[in-house]
Amino acid sequence: MRMCDIIKKKRNGFELTDDEIKYAISGYMGGSIPDYQMSAFLLAVYYQGMSTRETVTLTRCIENSGDHVNLKDVKGYKADKHSTGGVGDKTTFVVAPLAAACGIKVAKISGRGLGHTGGTVDKLESIPGYQTSLSIDRFQEIVNKVGVSVIGQSQELAPADKKIYALRDVTATVDSLPLIASSIMGKKLAAADDGIVLEVTVGNGSFNKKIDDGITLARVMVDIGNAAGKKTVAVLTDMNQPLGYTIGNSIEVIEAINVLKTGKGNERLVDLSIELTANMINLAGMGTLEECREIARKNLENGSAYKKFYEMVKEQGGDVRYLEDTSLFDLGETKEFVANKSGYISYVNTEGYGLASLYLGAGRNKIEDKIDFSAGIKIVKSLGEYVEKGDTIAVMHTSDKSKFEQAEKKLAESTTISKDKAELRKVVLGRIE
DSSP per-residue string spanning 103-130: T-BEEEEE---BTTB--HHHHHTTSTT-
**Residue 111 binds ligand URA, judged by CB under 6 A:** yes
For residue 321, give Cα distances in angstroms to 131, 313, 314. Answer: 16, 10, 10
**Binding piece for ligand URA, criterion CB under 6 A, among 60-68, 180-188, 356-364, 405-413:** 180-188
Q: Are 82 and 196 in contact (CB under 8 A)?
A: yes
82 counts as catalytic: yes
For residue 393, give Cα distances in angstroms to 111, 258, 337, 389. Answer: 30, 21, 6, 10
From the CB of residue 336, how many other CB atoms can be counted at a distance below 10 Å? 15
* The one catalytic residue among 81, 168, 364, 381: 168
**Residue 167 binds ligand URA, judged by CB under 6 A:** no
Of the two residues 48 and 84, which places its CB atom closer to ligand URA in the complex?
Answer: 84
Tell me the per-residue interface mask from 30 to 69 with ligand URA, x by CB under 6 A, - otherwise: ----------------------------------------
Burial grade of 380 (CB within 10 A; 0-12, 13-18, 19 or more)? middle
- Cα separation, 402 vs 406, in Å, equals 8
**Residue 180 binds ligand URA, judged by CB under 6 A:** yes
Of the two residues 180 and 224, which places its CB atom closer to ligand URA in the complex?
Answer: 180
Q: Which of 48, 55, 57, 84 binds ligand URA (CB under 6 A)?
A: 84
Query: What DSSP character marks residue 422?
Result: P
Burial grade of 368 (CB within 10 A; 0-12, 13-18, 19 or more)? exposed
Bridge-partner residues for 314, per DSSP? none
* The one catalytic residue among 83, 149, 183, 374: 183
Tell me the per-residue interface mask from 116 to 145 with ligand URA, x by CB under 6 A, - otherwise: ------------------------------
Tell me the closest approach of the beta carbon of residue 89 to ligand URA, in angstroms.
10
68 counts as catalytic: no
**Residue 25 binds ligand URA, judged by CB under 6 A:** no
238 counts as catalytic: no
Q: Are 114 and 355 in contact (CB under 8 A)?
A: no
* The one catalytic residue among 78, 81, 82, 308: 82
Tell me the closest approach of the beta carbon of residue 84 to ligand URA, in angstroms.
5
Q: Which of 184, 217, 379, 383 binds ligand URA (CB under 6 A)?
A: 184
- Cα separation, 65 vs 22, in Å, equals 10
Q: What is the dihedral of CA 428, 234, 124, 180, to 10 degrees?
A: -120
Tell me the closest approach of the beta carbon of residue 13 to ligand URA, in angstroms.
22
**Residue 237 binds ligand URA, judged by CB under 6 A:** no
**Residue 197 binds ligand URA, judged by CB under 6 A:** no
Q: What are phi and psi of 331, to 5 degrees?
A: -105, 20
From the CB of residue 114, how many other CB atoms can be counted at a distance below 10 Å? 21
* Amino acid (1-letter code) at residue 416: T
Residue of this chain nearest to ligand URA (CB atom): 183
**Residue 86 binds ligand URA, judged by CB under 6 A:** no
Tell me the closest approach of the beta carbon of residue 93 to ligand URA, in angstroms.
16
Of the two residues 180 and 192, which places its CB atom closer to ligand URA in the complex?
Answer: 180
Of the two residues 175 and 275, which places its CB atom closer to ligand URA in the complex?
Answer: 175
**Residue 88 binds ligand URA, judged by CB under 6 A:** no
**Residue 225 binds ligand URA, judged by CB under 6 A:** no
- Cα separation, 172 vs 164, in Å, equals 12
**Residue 398 binds ligand URA, judged by CB under 6 A:** no
**Residue 198 binds ligand URA, judged by CB under 6 A:** no
Per-state percent for the chain, helix, strand, coil, to nearest 5: 45, 15, 35
- Cα separation, 303 vs 98, in Å, equals 9
**Residue 183 binds ligand URA, judged by CB under 6 A:** yes
Tell me the closest approach of the beta carbon of residue 149 to ligand URA, in angstroms.
18
- Cα separation, 216 vs 212, in Å, equals 6
The catalytic residue positions are 82, 161, 168, 183, 187
Residues contributing to the site for ligand URA (CB under 6 A): 84-85, 111, 114, 179-180, 183-184
